[in-house]
A = this chain, B = another copy of it.
């Protein structure tokens, strides 16, 4: 068990849910410290009826802390994570900064829990769009080896934080009133529109968000031969990322077998009954921890594949839930040791 834990970015979109999940899941700790940038430091947050003052994120803040769960932008993580590690804490980091570092395990508890054992002070939680895809692909990979994935995403504005959601709401309200709202979080208006770019250009015309789906998938699955062709698109939905996935496996899978594998997989909920108009949709998955899978079909384009539709709350399994689950694994690992 950890005595003193700290949340970094506690007032952000993901941090709030981490805080809530620690309580809901009964995460064991003695003392909880909330840390944030100067903008939020001083805020009072209610936790289990107790008022906790958000403290400034600075090197001395990690004194005596043995576990950190952090949800911050990459450039913030780059700076403070070494402070926390130096102070002796283990950091579960949700930023992208350390994910591809060979010394940092990149962990989805349902997929590669064993990887946490190799940590050297930092464990990274994958990018939201990658996490839900890999949770869904893992059972197929174990059964039939995933060779190739073609994925198109439909990503919610909460992926850009609370201000991303605010911009969706404000720009939608504006559009309904024929007012022009100049975007500040997104590069283009998001109300009743789609933006086929998330992140900057990274490799061969693919964006950073798209390349995360390539690199992180391979690292988590421990298989660099997995090929991924991603297209990432921002859609006017507040919560819940959706993905249209075509997966080709070494051994052919039937729809029935794929369905059984999904149904038996931890963290996956099957919602797959087209005749009854039942399939995963963002509004039904909001606030839930699982990855929801439906529209399971045999690829009819000649490949040896399975097509499916996958939705998950990007702030939960895509971020907060996965980080808290990693922390729970650490608790178990510490108790065993």
Q: Does A18 contact B (CB under 8 A)?
A: no
Give the distance to chain B from A337, nearest Cβ to Cβ, in Å: 40
Q: Does A275 contact B (CB under 8 A)?
A: yes
Residue-wise, chain A 194-212 has the 8 Å CB interface mask toward B (1 for contact) of 1111000101111100000
A300 touches B192 (CB 8 A): no
Residues in chain B near residue A311, CB distance under 8 A:
194
A196 touches B279 (CB 8 A): yes
Q: Does A297 contact B (CB under 8 A)?
A: yes
B229 touches A307 (CB 8 A): yes
A149 in contact with B283 given A196-B295, A201-B274 (CB within 8 Å): no
Contact of A281 among B148, B194, B201, B207 (CB under 8 A): B194
Contact of A201 among B150, B255, B275 (CB under 8 A): B275
A295 touches B231 (CB 8 A): yes
Residue-wise, chain A 294-337 has the 8 Å CB interface mask toward B (1 for contact) of 11111111110101010100000000000000000000000000
Residue-wise, chain A 149-164 has the 8 Å CB interface mask toward B (1 for contact) of 1101010000000000
Residue-wise, chain A 232-250 has the 8 Å CB interface mask toward B (1 for contact) of 0101111000101010000
A172 to B168 alpha-carbon distance, docked (Å): 12
A205 in contact with B297 given A197-B274, A242-B196 (CB within 8 Å): yes
Q: Does A251 contact B (CB under 8 A)?
A: no
Q: Is the interface of A mostly helix, strand, loop or mixed?
A: mixed
B197 touches A277 (CB 8 A): yes
Q: Does A193 contact B (CB under 8 A)?
A: yes
B309 touches A188 (CB 8 A): no
A201 to B276 alpha-carbon distance, docked (Å): 10
A206 touches B244 (CB 8 A): no
Contact of A300 among B189, B206, B233, B281 (CB under 8 A): B206
Q: Does A4 contact B (CB under 8 A)?
A: no
A281 touches B196 (CB 8 A): yes
A194 touches B242 (CB 8 A): yes
A274 touches B194 (CB 8 A): no
Closest 9 CB pairs of A and B: A229-B301, A152-B244, A152-B152, A227-B301, A205-B297, A231-B244, A227-B302, A193-B283, A187-B277
Besides A152-B244, A187-B277, 14 new A-B residue pairs in contact (Cβ under 8 A), listed by A number: A150-B150, A168-B192, A176-B176, A188-B281, A188-B283, A192-B238, A194-B235, A194-B237, A196-B244, A196-B281, A204-B298, A205-B296, A206-B297, A229-B307
